[in-house]
Amino acid sequence: MPLSHLRLCSLALLVSVSTGALAQAGPSSLSEATEADEDTPVILVTARQNQEISDLPRAALVIKGDVLSDFNARTTSVQELIGFNIPGLGAPVTEGSAASLTLRGRAPLYLIDGVPIAPNTNFSRFLDKFDPLTLGRTEVVYGPTSLYGAGASGGVIQFFTRDPVDDGIQIEAGTQVQAFVPSDNAFDSDGISIKGNLAVNGEIAEGVRAFVYGSYEDRNGNFSSDGKLLTGRSNFVNDYTLFGKLEVDLGSTSTLTATANYTELESADRQFELSEADTDGDGIVVAEEAAFPFTYANPPTNNFLYTSLAYRNGDLAGGSLSLLGYYSESEFLNPGSDVRALRQPTGPFPAAWPGLWQTGAITEEYGVRGEYTREFGDRLSVTIGGDYNHADSTSLLPISSEADFDQTGFFDAVRQDIQRPPFAIDSLGLFMQGSLDLTDSITLNGGIRWDNFEYEIVGPYDIVFFFFQPPGERPGGSGEANDFSFNGGIVFDVADDVSFFANYSEGFTLPSIGFLANNVAPGVEISDSGVIQPVFTTSYEGGIRAQFGRLALQGAAYYSEGNFNTALGVDPNTGLINRGQAPSEVYGFEFSGQAQITDAFRFEAAIAYIEGKVDTQNNGNFTDITTQDVPPVKIQFRPVWEFAPQTRLFGQLFFTGDRKAAFLDGNDPFPAEAYTQVDLGVSTVVDWGGIGEGDVSLQVTNLLNTSELRPGEATFLAGRRRPSPGRSITLSYQHRF
């Protein structure tokens, strides 16, 4: 069927599956369906009409309950939380960078309570920006979608923070201690990380509820399986978070919610030699302690603030209205890098490159979103709305004097430069979505969205780290892109608890314009370069959902193609990983399920397989896409045994396969190697009588102490890899008064 016909069919359907960051929390999801009452519908809040998950014509997932609490009790890393628990997402990383956490091989849109948290920068430390203990659930909508604007070419991953309770005042206090067992220093200050948190939650007046949370973490070193201290930006930092949410009932059907979060990570005094040591010649890098302490004119830091104000009226002119306004700002600056030994004539880097520098960025975003949903009879529901977002970003690149550094160990930042030019983006989107119960067993979904992107690259600017183009002044410039995108789908209930679904969907967004602007030739304006092209992605998906008593299943297969998707590659001259745009295709499948074997024992299992091709030269010759974009096969098995009242033993078997094709095609700096990780934990609830109760959890991560080389832990230097952490023990306790 021609693309134009598919679009017309999609428009004729009218749709829904999307965000509703303003909607109220719903019940459980597929991952907990066997625990929910059979008559309770499973609502996906990341659907503009708050659809039941069984009515969605695409794969979806919710993480909450035991899964969320178990991972929060063992790690403070959101990257690990989602990497282990979302089939089709890249393998978990520990380094604080989420560039490899693609969803079905493409970049997802990340939201927290409806606020975008990953601006168009391709810097990927955004998942450090909030505390996972503030989360109530995480929802995933797979595949490109016209239901959101900027950035949803791979789907939507939305984090929802905890809602205030309405039954009195609750006080919660907790602590978490983690130690790496393979290290000789596991139980001294190098190997122990400690976190403390305090929260007050409840109704402070009639119709007024609040949740206030604060935490502090002293995060020390990660150690490899053989006890070596690992290098990384996430080691030896102090992490502060202050979060608050206030809900006010304005009437029986309307609520106003204000949310604010501030998170700051400060690097501790402990420093390491910046030329990472490849001690065995195998490309694996570890940290070496410096002979003298480093100091900074611009100390490393990472802070993030977001605020939002949401209004929801559930009964307005026969429908429901949701409005959201938000503002966010962030600034991060990494520890210093020393690449002098890698410059020519002994290394691959150009001699003109600086040798001592720090990278970072300052970003700011604000926007509004509104939607109105109206039901017509018992079968038709229609949502109309729009959203606007403004984002601007400036990179930071302090460059220091090499001679002074060798004498004093001081990053003096004598030169302030940029890694990529400053830019601003204005995004406007209008949409209409609908859902029609054609019969008692057939539901049609469809929708149309129009997006307009206006962007400006602020010039003049020069290139410090040049790849394809030489250094020289670029004037910058501006550009605009707009288009319609469509989706349409069908859900067919073949039995009470078995349904098939299929959909066609499109996504329209901008690539990472700041970094791509570095590919413009000197003297050429952005509008004349052809370097930046909007990304248009189409996807075909089919799947099944089923529940047979205590067994719940979901499976989906998909194929997607994009015209100018962001593509990674290895520069043969420098060995660096660089970015460009190229046509690509991705295909694969996911399958997940849960079985409640007995009242006391259940298990969850999931498998995801993805492959992809990319035309790096745009000449019709497709090769295997990089493993940074398309991860290897991922298999997970998680058993849970409640062997005593409120006491559980749980484990995880996590397997990631190897992937060599992209390396052989020259798109990967090294082949991905298979690894298996086994984790084990136990938790119980302790009743302290009149002074409350507490959750105790003891977990062993990487029980077998395997040495893993996760694809996502690669440095920007080709062939240089960081091993994942070895065995660790985490003890946590959360007390409720």
What one-letter code names the amino acid at 270?
Answer: R
The arithmetic mean of pLDDT across residues 173-189, rounded, is 75
Compute the distance between CA of residue 682 and CA of residue 600 in angstroms, rounded to an integer.
14
pLDDT band (50, 70, 90) for residue 285:
low
Contact partners, residue 635, CB within 8 Å, separation at least 6: 605, 606, 607, 653, 654, 655, 656, 657
Give per-residue pLDDT as tens, 361-378.
999 999 999 999 999 998
Task: With CA atoms as reference, report the closest residue to 431 among 486, 352, 505.
Answer: 486
The arithmetic mean of pLDDT across residues 713-722, rounded, is 56
Give per-residue pLDDT as tens, 402-446.
999 888 889 999 999 988 899 999 999 999 989 999 999 999 998
pLDDT band (50, 70, 90) for residue 246:
very high
CA 135 distance to own-chain centroid: 14
pLDDT value for 409: 85
Task: Quote the pTM value.
Answer: 0.88
pLDDT value for 283: 58
Q: Which of 87-91, 194-198, 241-245, 613-617 has the lowest mean pLDDT?
A: 613-617
Length of the chain: 737
Give per-residue pLDDT as tens, 539-574.
999 999 999 999 999 999 999 998 866 555 555 555
pLDDT value for 286: 59
Percent of the chain with pLDDT over 90: 43
What's the per-residue H, E or C state across 101-160?
Answer: CCECCECCEEEECCEECCCCCCCCCHHHCCCHHHEEEEEEEECCCCCCCCCCCCEEEEEE
Q: Which of 17-31, 132-146, 466-480 has the lowest mean pLDDT?
A: 17-31
Q: What are the CA-CA distances from residue 255 to residues 55, 167, 250 (Å)?
A: 27, 17, 5
The arithmetic mean of pLDDT across residues 330-356, rounded, is 83
User: Please, what sign has the CA dihedral across residues 648, 637, 28, 144?
Assistant: positive
Check whether 532 has a pLDDT greater than 60: yes
Strand runs labelled E in 5-84: 60-63
pLDDT value for 150: 61
pLDDT value for 564: 65
Compute the distance between CA of residue 459 and CA of residue 476 in angstroms, rounded to an integer.
4
Check whether 452 has a pLDDT greater than 90: yes
Task: With CA atoms as reference, report the closest residue to 351 among 359, 343, 361.
Answer: 343
Written as six digits, the tokens of 190 are 């190098």
Task: With CA atoms as reference, report the closest residue to 513 among 435, 443, 603, 422.
Answer: 422
Written as six digits, the tokens of 243 are 């979060």
Check whether 467 has a pLDDT greater than 70: no
Strand, coil or helix: 398: strand
Give per-residue pLDDT as tens, 119-175.
676 555 667 778 899 999 899 999 877 666 666 778 889 999 999 998 889 999 999
Q: Which of 80-89, 181-190, 599-608, 696-705 has the lowest mean pLDDT?
A: 181-190
Compute the distance between CA of residue 64 and CA of residue 69 in angstroms, rounded to an integer.
8
- In a 13 Å sphere around the CA of 249, the CA atoms on its Cβ side amount to 13
DSSP result, 604-624: EEEEEEEEEEE-TTSSS--EE
Written as six digits, the tokens of 712 are 């996502």
DSSP result, 644-701: ETTEEEEEEEEEE--B-HHHHTTSSSS-B--EEEEEEEEEEEEE-GGG-EEEEEEEEE
CA angle, 162 as apex, 160 and 164 as ends, to 5°?
A: 135
Percent of the chain with pLDDT over 70: 81
The arithmetic mean of pLDDT across residues 259-269, rounded, is 86
pLDDT value for 348: 73
pLDDT value for 596: 94
Q: Which of 219-223, 381-385, 483-487, 557-561 has the lowest mean pLDDT?
A: 219-223
CA 213 distance to own-chain centroid: 22
pLDDT value for 679: 95
What value does the mean pLDDT of the chain take? 82
Compute the distance between CA of residue 41 and CA of residue 33 in angstroms, rounded to an integer.
10
pLDDT value for 94: 67
Higher pLDDT, 236 or 245: 245
Q: What are phi and psi of 148, to 5 degrees?
A: -130, 160
Check whether 24 has a pLDDT greater than 70: no
Give per-residue pLDDT as tens, 312-324.
999 999 999 999 9
Q: Which of 305-309, 554-558, 574-578, 615-619 has the lowest mean pLDDT?
A: 574-578
Q: 78-85 vs 65-72: helix axis angle to the nearest 10?
A: 140
Q: What are phi and psi of 35, to 5 degrees?
A: -90, -15
CA 243 distance to own-chain centroid: 20
